[in-house]
Structure 1
Amino acid sequence: MIVIADGGSTKTNWCLLNEAGRKIHFNTEGYNPYFSDTDYIVGSLKKSLPDHLEADKLRGVYYYGAGCSTDAKKKIVGDAMAQVFVNAEIHIGHDLLASCRALLGDEPGFAAILGTGTNSCLYDGTDISLNIDSLGYFLGDEGSGCFIGKRILSDYMKGYMPKGLRESFYDNFALTNEDIFDHIYNKPLPNRFCAGFSKFLYDFKDNYEDYTFSTVEYAFTAFFENLVIHYPNYKDYKLNCVGSVGYSFRDILSIVADRYEMGVGKIIRSPIDDLVDYHMQASKKLAK
């Protein structure tokens, strides 16, 4: 049995492939090694893995995670996986590579993540050939849920948000300005805190279409201006994207992409199903 995982900063989607080839899906929280250490990941996994999962019987773990971009960060996650899946061969990769494999398979192209955070790259059909660093939630992550969430929080705190939406925001979260500052500066996982408010905007988008469009369009325009247009010959590629933000606001994303003369390819919420298919096809090729 093997297990394949796509780990974002907020949530990890897992798929167990048993000996009969049956797929069993489950979720845990996300484990970004920039915010979570090995001990935290081990404790969380032991609490949240399903009871029916016989961790000691797994022979392979293929984990693709947000933040797993350097050997040091991969080691934080890999050490945790080794403590939980004690008999498995552990493979740790970047979530951006997972997105490439899910979106493009063995074909070259452009791939992006627009979820809690942002990432993008050119893919040569095997590996990432060029990546412009999005610089994380503090300095960049344009187009992400965190980027949108920060704009929403700023508008709420400054009183720029439409009155009815501002009232709904307080009814849902009951946050004062002091509460928000406390979450951002003093509590763990501020990126996840900010990103959560992009869902609030999506839930109320039909009642506040103009505000939703202007907020999200601003974020996606920043994504293109600061990242996409700096890839060589970017107009020659289609925009392929995974992530809840890109998927939920794909109509606005398509409008912005068209403005920059970039065609739209595959936009999916989660890469896990396509990623599992990629590994199944790879296994078949090796077996030949």
Structure 2
Amino acid sequence: MSEITRVLIEALPYIQKFKSKTIVIKYGGNAMIDKRLKSSFARDIVLMKSVGMNPIVVHGGGPQIGEMLDKIGKKSEFIHGMRVTDAETMAVVESALGDVVNKEIVELIQQHGGCAKGLVGKDSGLVSATKLNIGDDIDLGYVGEVDGVDTSVIDALEVGVIPVIAPIGVGKNGASYNINADLVAGAIAQALNAEKLILLTNTQGLLDAEGRLLTGLDANTVDKLIINGTIYGGMLPKIGCALTAVKHGVKAAHIIDGRVSHAVLLEVFTDDGVGTLITSNE
């Protein structure tokens, strides 16, 4: 059997199973910087749409924001891994995410034969936000958390269109808020009752104490790994996002290695995948 035949046969049941299903993908990390990986990601998304799935892309853009701030001579400040966002920084965030990164992703998808539509979370109230408070003495400025998702904005798009969403929310006062893209992707996945939430990272996925990849876990097991300290540090926010999603109706969450070419396709369409699959306890 030829390699291409084997791959197609392996993919077929997944194509059939996930036809018409919504899959929310958080796009970030190396996959957004490396030219080869950017191209493979766009092709993955177009193929998913072509076989009847409904991919939705939510993107980050931290490095691009940092570059734009450097150009205007403004130093980036972080507290607990979050960018302190004053009014001037927020304007740069909106420009970097909405005007540069979002448009580049839309163009990439269209170059590979797809039809994409760029959306900024604050537009038409798609993502409503409240100011994130992490302590009485700490003010992160215009950093927010998701307060709600208006799915009608996505539902109103024409059939065949792939939404590409920048993670900027709008507060009740009309102010824009910079929100962690993982959290926006998770909230959108929950609101749409998505089949899958896929988070691209710069790591293999979840690793055990010996550094071995954990490929399949349920929510209870993940909770135990957090308690015993196996999962810690920078991976905790992503895990928290994935856990919240599967506990609120999303069928499965995947934390995958975005440094691998065609990582999304390999995770969705193959038996082995390229990361960690997290499901609910049901």
| TM-score, length of structure 2 as denominator length | 0.30
Higher helix share: 1
| TM-score, length of structure 1 as denominator length | 0.30
